[in-house]
Amino acid sequence: MKKKTDLSFLRNGIKDIKKTLSGGAIYIIAGNFLTQFAIFFGSIFLVRALSKEDFGLLSYIENIYGYIYIFAGMGLINGLLRYIILSKDNKKQKAYYIFSIKRGSIINISLVLILISFVFFISLNEAYIDAKVPLIILILIVPFQFLIDSSIMVYRAKFSYKLFALSSVLISILIITSKYFGAITYGLLGVSIFRLITVFFTSLLLILLVIRRFFPKIKRSNLSKSEIRDLHTYSFSYMLTNGIWVLIMLNNVFLLGIFNLEPETIADFKVATVLPNNLALISSAIGVYVGPYFVKNEKNFKWIKNNFYKIFFVTLVFVLFGGLFILLFSKQLILIIFGVKYLNIIPLMNLLLVGAVINSAFRFTIANILSAMGKIKYNFYISIIGLILQVTINLLLIPVLDVYSVAIANIAIYSVMSILLFISFHKQYLRNEVIN
């Protein structure tokens, strides 16, 4: 009997995978895959177009840009997703979109002016002095990247998965292509300049396309003070929670930089993360697809319980398969993709792979669903615990193990966060089958 039950579970799991792929999920998964492939493929060209030192510098300033972008629009992008889905009226949806891009742009322009003024007066380590001007150019990208992400979020909120996937892929190709041509033309400076030009024109085009596609000749209604307050409250809370997680991702390079490791070492670390980090495209693709459905059914505990286990199983199967493939062919992949000068990163990459599997299969799946349904506080508190663990472990181990300390810290924090998130999710939803 036990064997039959196990086989039945496996058959049902396979059916769930087929069902997930048969609908809009196929566009999201394909779109995310092609987007990440474009970024991944473009990074190969960048690695080869730039010297190891310049690629290390680029990784460092893009890491700083990542810190800055946490505060873009004070989180209004994610608030936009939630409140467009919850609003049934097109006039109200347009009101949320226009308000978000206007208010977010004001915030972003103020942020850019403050940060550029600050960068002019800071003194960088001598090894990173050439990164100052490219960093200023990257800061100028923030308002326009915010407009792109806001517009793309409307496609997702309106369940237009084909458009969401197509737009994401094309934008990624445009940006990575511009960075490559910038690299071969003017080196590190060219990467920043060409990226700024591309993002600027793409942002304006996307706003026009979104309005023509979803809100043609629709006069937007006005948002009440309470609606604006709710939007800002949710957006700011989401920004803090997601920001802490982004800090965890970005701190790896930052903490290595604190100990004045050479740009070449930063380059080795960044290249070592490329393949493991691409496992996240699986969980993020599935997350993008299922997120809106969990928002719509956030009061239906039985539906949440039934579908959570299905999504969890589907994600786990694909992530494990991807991780095993990278592990078995790590040497061949590094040699073919990045060249012989990066063969030294294989042990580090395989250690990072363990943390990436835990993160993609377990932590992300639960955290994404909780955030979609407005349960941000769980992610917030657990992310703080992860951040404290990360900083503590790295500060203790980097002087001894260099970049390997980051991989060890990743395994520890992703494991702890996954366990705590599952406990929180179980307490909130899985043990409760009441339909409200």
Whether 413 and 384 have beta carbons less than 8 Å apart is answered as no
d(CA 211, CA 231): 21
pLDDT of residue 436: 43
Using alpha carbons, select from 349, 128, 379, 139 the residue that is nearest to residue 247.
Answer: 379
Q: How far apart are CA 300 and CA 433, in angstroms?
A: 8
Q: How far, rounded to the nearest angstrom, does the alpha carbon of residue 331 sit from its chain's CA centroid?
A: 27
Helix (H, G, I), strand (E, B), or coil: what is residue 300? Answer: strand
Closest CA to 164 of 120, 117, 114, 214: 214
Is residue 47 within 8 A of residue 271, CB to CB? The reply is yes
User: What is the C-alpha radius of gyration for the chain, rounded to an integer number of angstroms?
Assistant: 22
pLDDT the model gives residue 187? 84
Strand blocks (E) in 48-186: none
In tens digits, the chain (436 residues) has pLDDT values of 444 444 554 455 455 555 555 555 566 666 666 666 666 666 667 777 787 777 778 888 888 888 898 899 898 988 888 888 888 788 888 889 999 999 999 999 999 999 988 877 766 565 566 778 888 999 999 999 999 999 988 888 887 877 887 888 888 888 888 988 888 888 888 889 999 999 999 999 999 999 988 888 777 778 888 889 989 988 888 888 778 878 887 787 777 777 756 777 777 888 888 888 888 877 877 776 777 777 777 777 788 888 888 888 888 898 999 999 999 998 888 888 777 878 888 999 999 999 999 998 888 888 888 877 767 778 888 888 988 998 898 888 888 888 888 889 899 999 999 999 989 888 877 765 544 4
Tokens, residue 134: 């490219």
Paired tokens of 190:
């060219």
The one-letter code for the residue type at 26 is: I
For the four alpha carbons of 367, 371, 373 and 377, in that order, the dihedral sign comes to positive
The answer to whether the CB of 233 falls within 8 A of the CB of 225 is: no
Q: What are the backbone angles phi and psi of residue 158, rounded to the nearest 5°?
A: -90, 10
Neighbours of 91 (CB within 10 A): 13
Length of the chain: 436
Whether the pTM exceeds 0.85: the reply is: no
Query: How many whole angstroms from its chain centre is CA 145?
Result: 14
CA distance 338 to 341: 8
Interhelix angle 52-69/263-277, nearest 10 degrees: 60
Angle at 393 between CA 62 and CA 400, to 5 degrees: 90
Amino acid at 173: I
What gap in Å lies between CA 76 and CA 380, rounded to an integer?
A: 17
Burial bucket for residue 4 (CB in 10 Å: 0-12, 13-18, 19+): exposed
| pLDDT for position 2 | 44
- 191 phi-psi bin (left φ>0, alpha ψ -120 to 50, beta other): alpha
User: How many CB atoms are closer than 10 A to CB 435?
Assistant: 11
d(CA 65, CA 51): 21
CA–CA dist 422, 428 (Å, integer): 10
Q: Which two tokens stand for residue 222?
A: 């006005």
pLDDT at 40: 61
Rounded to 5 degrees, φ, ψ at 370 are -60, -45
Q: 10 Å Cβ neighbour count for 336?
A: 10
Residues 340, 220: Cα–Cα separation, whole Å: 57
- The rounded Cα 161 to chain-centroid distance in angstroms is 18
Residue 179 host element (H or E): helix 161-214
